[in-house]
Amino acid sequence: MSDPLPTTPIDVLDEVFGYDSFRGRQAEIIEQISAGGDALVLMPTGAGKSLCYQLPAILRQRAGKGLAVVVSPLIALMRDQVLALHELGVEAAFLNSALSSEEFEHTRRRMLSGELTLLYAAPERVTNANFLADLAMLDDAGKLSMFAIDEAHCVSQWGHDFRPEYQALTILHERFPAVPRIALTATADALTRREIASQLDLDDAPLYVSSFDRPNIRYLIDEKRDARKQLLRFITQSHAGEAGIVYCLSRRKVEETAKFLNDQAITALPYHAGLDSAVRQRHQDRFLREDGIVMTATIAFGMGIDKPDVRFVAHLDMPKNIEGYYQETGRAGRDGDPAEAWMAYGLQDVVMQRNLLENGDANEQHKQVLRGKLDALLGLCESTDCRRQRLLAYFGEDSEPCGNCDNCISPPEMWDAGEQARMLLSCIYRCEQNFGSGHIFDVLRGKETDKVARFNHWNLSTFGIGAEFSDQQWRAVLRQLIARGMVRVDSDHFNVLRLSGEWRDFVKSSDPLELRVAVKRAAPAAKRAARVPDDEPELSPDDERLLEELRVWRKRLADEKSLPAYMVFDNKTLRAIARTRPSTSDELADVRGVGAAKLESYGAAVLELVADDVETVAG
């Protein structure tokens, strides 16, 4: 007779997942859901969010409660989560449009027969009348364990990835009021949190907010000059041969950037909604399974991507809010090792995002909220103090200067641009708010162009008063004035500059305006030294050799099973094996990340590999 399966959270954590302790608030959340309560969870990417519903699902299934249903927005996310659970020995499946009718019915039968612990489905599927009827049968039999609503920010119209179908999920509470629910997201400001709770009837549920700090990520924001060349320098100097993601605003730019990188001998794949679904899937699979791939993508790529060894995320265009920026940059360094988030930011980014916002279909109330979110991101880009402090403060978290962002490492040189700002505002006014930035700069610098002559602008009092400053310096001043709302760009009238906000009060004042000194080429931030996390001892040369042998073995096995390598064992687990050199199954079972299923599947091969290496060292 086999031993009974563990039924306490910490024992299941060890037996299934191979970990001996919880992180952050995981233990509290798991206790709440396992006991039949609801919860709203905000936890940064890479902090173990999925464990907060997967482990309670296992516990409740072992207690006879039946099936846990996970609402997930993306087919790729469902598939990868299910593959990872299979590697852990957990019965899981998904229902989505990628399945054939035969596959769909097979999974449905497994769901109704009680074979599954977790079932992943899209919100459209979960709210389908036939699916709800199946859930009702399970509920009547006492076999509906819990609902987990992942990426819950999608429910909020104030969030960065609003999906109206998520709002229909309120039906789960109406139909199944006794079934516990957990809603999870990595990013949500106070307004978005309130709407998540309201839309999902979780107003009375406890809110669990983990620290948003990702100390292993270095934040770098560079003044945009030639963004592609800047990107190339960033990759080649700091991340050659490493996996990364490059985000662009348009599909065309995604394609062009991928081609540019490939022309520079950097393997890059494009990903956007305009590509055939089979191409997108193929590119995503390569990114997950191969080393050193750079994915150039729109925001269509990334939600739920669990690849732990992404070493950088780069933005060639500014996102529209901090939530989106944080979500996207959080895809770097999920393994806890050093990673970087780099963005090239310039005047055109400000203009483009302002225009997209003002010309959008949202009502005025919604636009006002979006303006505030964009202003917060502009403030982050223009900040001269610690980037991390700014980022965390947005989510309501106090922190000290991090010492690891670009502003902390190399504090920017500042200058009082108050006088120059008044020159620029006055010039826009003298030109009757009918010209774009290029012409305004020409007037300020005293250039006798055909347009200046045609409109007699050489006769203005502002003609030539800023001749000592370069176009780049004037662009920096204009960008800050746009960010502060004193200038706006009218996209409906050929991008002419209009005055707005409190520009008159500023022009009449002698107030200072502290800006960064515009530079011709920013020096790249110092590359963060490659190191293992602080709680891991350094590996010896012999350990490093064994680690490489383990990586080769892992890659071969992952290819045979058509899995991403990290689903076999992640890098931390391989480092622990190389350092401790286990010689028995019990010793290997004590290694972080080696649960019962992986011990059974891979234990013999790992122990043999370690034993061979020990003989080599001894010989």
Domains of the chain, by residue range, sit at 9-209, 217-409, 414-516, 541-618
**pLDDT at 528 exceeding the cut of 70:** no
Stretch 33-38: mean pLDDT? 96
Stretch 499-503: mean pLDDT? 90
Backbone φ and ψ for 526, nearest 5 degrees, come out as: -60, 135
State pLDDT tens for residues 259-290.
Answer: 999 999 999 999 998 999 889 989 988 998 88
What is the CATH number that goes with domain 217-409? 3.40.50.300
Mean pLDDT rounded to a whole number for the chain: 90
**pLDDT at 180 exceeding the cut of 60:** yes
* Confidence label for 353 from pLDDT (cuts 50, 70 and 90): confident
* Confidence label for 388 from pLDDT (cuts 50, 70 and 90): very high
Q: Identify whether the C-beta of residue 273 lies closer than 8 Å to the C-beta of residue 298.
A: yes
Higher pLDDT, 359 or 210: 210
Higher pLDDT, 619 or 442: 442
Q: Which residue has the tokens 């990334």?
A: 302
Q: In angstroms, rounded to a whole number, what is the distance separating the alpha carbons of residues 471 and 398?
A: 38
Q: What integer pLDDT is reported at residue 2 of this predicted model?
A: 54
Pairing of strands 181-185, 144-149: parallel
State pLDDT tens for residues 599-609.
Answer: 999 999 999 99
Stretch 113-119: mean pLDDT? 96
Stretch 173-182: mean pLDDT? 96
Q: What integer pLDDT is reported at residue 526 of this predicted model?
A: 43
Q: What integer pLDDT is reported at residue 47 of this predicted model?
A: 81
Q: In angstroms, rounded to a whole number, what is the distance separating the alpha carbons of residues 93 and 82?
A: 6
| Sign (positive or negative) of CA dihedral 550, 553, 557, 560 | positive
State pLDDT tens for residues 226-256.
Answer: 999 999 999 999 999 999 999 999 999 999 9
**pLDDT at 522 exceeding the cut of 50:** no
Q: What integer pLDDT is reported at residue 304 of this predicted model?
A: 60
Q: What integer pLDDT is reported at residue 459 of this predicted model?
A: 93
Stretch 572-599: mean pLDDT? 95
SS3 514: strand
Q: In angstroms, rounded to a whole number, what is the distance separating the alpha carbons of residues 287 and 300?
A: 15
SS3 65: coil
Q: What integer pLDDT is reported at residue 157 of this predicted model?
A: 74
By mean pLDDT, which of 108-122, 335-349, 528-542 is the weakest? 528-542
Q: Shortest CA distance to 380 belongs to which of 322, 421, 320, 319?
A: 322
Q: In angstroms, rounded to a whole number, what is the distance separating the alpha carbons of residues 395 and 387?
A: 13
* Confidence label for 44 from pLDDT (cuts 50, 70 and 90): confident
Q: Identify whether the C-beta of residue 216 lies closer than 8 Å to the C-beta of residue 337.
A: yes
Report the topology of domain 9-209: Rossmann fold (3.40.50)
* Confidence label for 120 from pLDDT (cuts 50, 70 and 90): very high
Q: What integer pLDDT is reported at residue 527 of this predicted model?
A: 46
Q: List strand residue ranges (DSSP E) for 423-567, in order.
A: 487-490, 496-499, 514-516
Torsion of CA 223, 387, 319, 346, to 10 degrees: -20
**HSE value, Cβ hemisphere, 13 Å, CA-based, for 193:** 18
State pLDDT tens for residues 152-171.
Answer: 988 887 666 778 888 899 99
∠ CA(215), CA(22), CA(122), 5° rounding?
85
- Cα 243 to the center of its chain, rounded Å: 15
- What percent of the chain has pLDDT above 70? 95
Stretch 332-340: mean pLDDT? 92
**HSE value, Cβ hemisphere, 13 Å, CA-based, for 607:** 17
Q: What integer pLDDT is reported at residue 76 of this predicted model?
A: 74
**pLDDT at 533 exceeding the cut of 60:** no
- List all residues 6 or more positions away from 582 whose beta carbon is below 8 Å from its beta carbon: 588, 590, 591, 606, 607, 610
Q: In angstroms, rounded to a whole number, what is the distance separating the alpha carbons of residues 135 and 455?
A: 72
Stretch 123-152: mean pLDDT? 95
Q: In angstroms, rounded to a whole number, what is the distance separating the alpha carbons of residues 5 and 22?
A: 20
Predicted TM-score (pTM) of the model is: 0.84
Q: What integer pLDDT is reported at residue 529 of this predicted model?
A: 40
Q: Shortest CA distance to 163 belongs to which of 180, 185, 179, 141?
A: 185
Pairing of strands 118-121, 67-71: parallel
* Confidence label for 75 from pLDDT (cuts 50, 70 and 90): confident
Q: In angstroms, rounded to a whole number, what is the distance separating the alpha carbons of residues 151 and 192?
A: 12
Q: Shortest CA distance to 34 belongs to which of 17, 4, 15, 59?
A: 59
**pLDDT at 619 exceeding the cut of 60:** no
Domain 414-516 in CATH 3.40.30.10: no
The single-letter code of the amino acid at 25 is: R
Q: What integer pLDDT is reported at residue 519 of this predicted model?
A: 58
Identical fold, 9-209 and 217-409: yes
- List all residues 6 or more positions away from 481 whose beta carbon is below 8 Å from its beta carbon: 421, 424, 425, 487, 503
By mean pLDDT, which of 138-147, 319-328, 336-345, 550-559 is the weakest? 319-328
Domain 541-618 is classified in which CATH homologous superfamily?
HRDC domain (1.10.150.80)
